[in-house]
Amino acid sequence: MIEYENKKQNLEPVSASGNIEIYKLPRPGKYKWIEELRGVFSTWTPLGGRDHSIRQWWFPNASSSVYQCGSPLLSTMDSEGVNRVTVALSDTFSRSHLTVSVDDLNQRDEIIFTVETKSENAFLRVDRRAVDYCDAVTEAGEWMRSYLKDGQIPVPDNAELPLYSSWYNFHQEPEQYLLEKELKIASEMGFKTFILDDGWQFEGKNTGSYQLCGEWKLAKDKFPDFKGFCDRVHGFGIKILMWFAVPFVGFDSPEYVRLKDKLAFDNAPFGAGVLDIRYPEIRRHIIGILKRYAHDYGIDGLKLDFIDAFNMEAEHIPPYNDDMDVCTLDEAAVLLMDEIYATMTDINKDFLFEFRQNYIGAQIVNRCNMLRVADCAADPITNRIGIVALRLVNKGTAIHSDMLLWGKRESALNCQRQLLNIMFSVPQISVRLTEIPEEQLDIIGRFVSYWTENRDILLHGRFRAYHPESNYTVIFAESDEKKITVLHAEPLFTPCGKCEDVFNDTPYDYIVPSTDECFDYTVYDLYGKEIFTGNSNTKRRIDLPRGGMMRIKAK
């Protein structure tokens, strides 16, 4: 029984089928119910990262959400990854806070769920089916999206093609002629999309902050001929996205003085003020800048950054006035994203929009076709965890890795392992291709070739990520004909009887079939070189070098 605020009202489900109950929440407020503490081994939330802990009543595991940050969903599961209870809200715009915790205080063998929402008209979905948590979470995401008025936006083909980024390799010092050399090599390796990241908008060295944002004029010392640059990059067969820090006007920008009366608040750590987008003129100002770059230079997309910086409660921003057309930044963020989307797709129906964690909710993601893991430079495990989370919640959007970064002296094995950790997303690379050794270039080239050949399976096949509590030890995707598996921790795997590629990202130089099923296989090292062929009847432990692949023949 779900209780509304201090047991003033008990709710009955408006529908119940197959261990899924739907409740109508009659008003904003806090709702609470109790489940039996049995079989719960770990928890899962969209922005939980590595934290899958079960917490006690004084510090519950939580999923906070608003339009521009998070998603109102949480899940509990048993030790085999079977769903116990998965909870989701239909309203992904309003502020909400979902929690789960163990009630050890009262010694009642209970686990407590709460849902606090500011929504006037939300439905609550409680799923107790004994299904794989991947299915429970994915279906909860699909259910949330079913409440969108206009459905998901289409995903252009280039949103699902390998991408080169200028961020980690150039930071705030991108340079036209160096980038042209990089992108020529990238195009020959199979990269089809390019993001020109931060730094193009001010002259000089890296500042490490956003104090010079606001005017959004091209830095002539970095891009003396930006139109020529765009034309040449397009000539390589590469689409161009440009980075914009949407909310920010830097403290050192002339725009800060001009717009100081139209700022919502200052963000001192970033060195910038946050535009008050409740003013329609401010939204027109932002859109006018973006539109100019599409018209004047023919850019193909936008990386819209820091949208989550608009996430501020009403009491911390100036009061509403008659020059505004909405009362809250949350409402204004919806208008801004809708207006940007309408304007840019009117110019080009296949326009590309990249968002990133933490703005991942169903309603806001309906205004992007590329969704990226948050910054985790050189951290393959965090990249892997973010990819899985985004894939489970946001089916139908192109899920991208964070950009890969490694040093020029890094081993081929560690480069390969970073790549294996992003296998089930669109790969983004941010290393200087003109400076890394040939061995690293070869690793990237072969990965991009393999990934592109198997793109449909990797991005759209049946997807499973086992053991979230251990950062996903086994991940696979499969079609009717083929399965692709990456082992990330333990060498044990289960043959499926069809053609299967098994990659070894474990600390071991062998893998072990979990069944007595007989199959023929070929082993390749991390450079793609065939080492030997064999049959599983002759050897139960199969030698497979770290970073290598075993290809199992179909029966």
Q: Which residues contact 233 (CB under 8 A, 6 or more apart)?
A: 179, 180, 183, 194, 240
Question: What is the DSSP pairing of strand 428-429 with strand 163-165?
Answer: parallel
Domain identity same for 320 and 256: yes
Kindly tell me if the per-residue pLDDT of 115 is higher than 90: yes
Over residues 129-140, the mean pLDDT reads 98
- For the segment 414-459, what is each residue's pLDDT rounded down to a tens digit? 999 999 999 999 999 999 999 999 999 999 999 999 999 999 999 9
* Nearest of 388, 411, 407 to residue 399 by alpha carbon: 388
CATH number of the domain that residue 408 is part of: 3.20.20.70
506 within a domain of the structure (yes/no): yes
Kindly tell me if the per-residue pLDDT of 536 is higher than 90: no
122 within a domain of the structure (yes/no): yes
How many angstroms separate the CA atoms of 112 and 60, rounded?
9
Domain identity same for 482 and 447: no
Query: Structural domain of residue 490, as residue ranges?
Result: 462-552
Angle at 378 between CA 372 and CA 381, to 5 degrees: 70
How many angstroms separate the CA atoms of 285 and 403, rounded?
30
- For the segment 492-505, what is each residue's pLDDT rounded down to a tens digit? 999 988 999 999 99
Over residues 528-539, the mean pLDDT reads 88
- Other CB atoms closer than 10 Å to residue 111's CB: what's the count? 23
Kindly tell me if the per-residue pLDDT of 404 is higher than 90: yes
155 within a domain of the structure (yes/no): no
156 within a domain of the structure (yes/no): no
150 within a domain of the structure (yes/no): no
Give the confidence band of 537 by pLDDT, cuts at 50, 70, 90.
Answer: confident
379 within a domain of the structure (yes/no): yes
Kindly tell me if the per-residue pLDDT of 107 is higher than 80: no
Kindly tell me if the per-residue pLDDT of 464 is higher than 90: yes
Average pLDDT, the chain: 95
State how many domains the chain has: 3
- Other CB atoms closer than 10 Å to residue 37's CB: what's the count? 15
pLDDT at 222: 98
Angle at 377 between CA 405 and CA 460, to 5 degrees: 85
How many angstroms separate the CA atoms of 472 and 39, rounded?
20
Among the three residues 145, 174, 200, which one is the final residue of a domain in this structure?
145
157 within a domain of the structure (yes/no): no
Domain identity same for 324 and 304: yes
Domain identity same for 384 and 436: yes
312 within a domain of the structure (yes/no): yes
Domain identity same for 345 and 241: yes
Give the confidence band of 539 by pLDDT, cuts at 50, 70, 90.
Answer: low
How many angstroms separate the CA atoms of 151 and 137, rounded?
19
DSSP helix/strand/coil, 484? strand
- For the segment 316-329, what is each residue's pLDDT rounded down to a tens digit? 899 999 999 999 99
pLDDT at 103: 87
Domain identity same for 414 and 427: yes
pLDDT at 173: 97
Domain identity same for 453 and 544: no
Q: Where are the alpha helices (DSSP H) in 49-175?
A: 133-145, 167-170
- For the segment 289-306, what is each residue's pLDDT rounded down to a tens digit? 999 999 999 999 999 999
pLDDT at 294: 97
The single-letter DSSP state of residue 401 is P
- Other CB atoms closer than 10 Å to residue 182's CB: what's the count? 23
Share of the chain above pLDDT 90, in %: 91
Domain identity same for 186 and 131: no
pLDDT at 389: 98
pLDDT at 455: 98
pLDDT at 189: 97
pLDDT at 161: 98
Spatial contact of 548 and 491, defined as CB atoms under 8 Å apart: no
- For the segment 365-390, what is each residue's pLDDT rounded down to a tens digit? 999 999 999 999 999 999 999 999 99
Domain identity same for 136 and 218: no
Among the three residues 433, 459, 485, which one is the final residue of a domain in this structure?
459
Domain identity same for 387 and 478: no
Domain identity same for 199 and 247: yes
- For the segment 153-205, what is each residue's pLDDT rounded down to a tens digit? 999 999 999 999 999 999 999 999 999 999 999 999 999 999 999 999 999 99
pLDDT at 538: 66
pLDDT at 1: 77
What is the sign of the dihedral through the CA atoms of 510, 522, 188 and 371? negative
Among the three residues 459, 490, 512, which one is the final residue of a domain in this structure?
459
- For the segment 334-359, what is each residue's pLDDT rounded down to a tens digit? 999 999 999 999 999 999 999 999 99
Give the confidence band of 240 by pLDDT, cuts at 50, 70, 90.
Answer: very high
Tokens of 540: 């139960």
CA 360 to chain centre: 7
Domain identity same for 341 and 406: yes
The more confident residue out of 1 and 181 is 181
* Nearest of 241, 188, 469 to residue 352 by alpha carbon: 241
Give the confidence band of 540 by pLDDT, cuts at 50, 70, 90.
Answer: confident
pLDDT at 88: 98
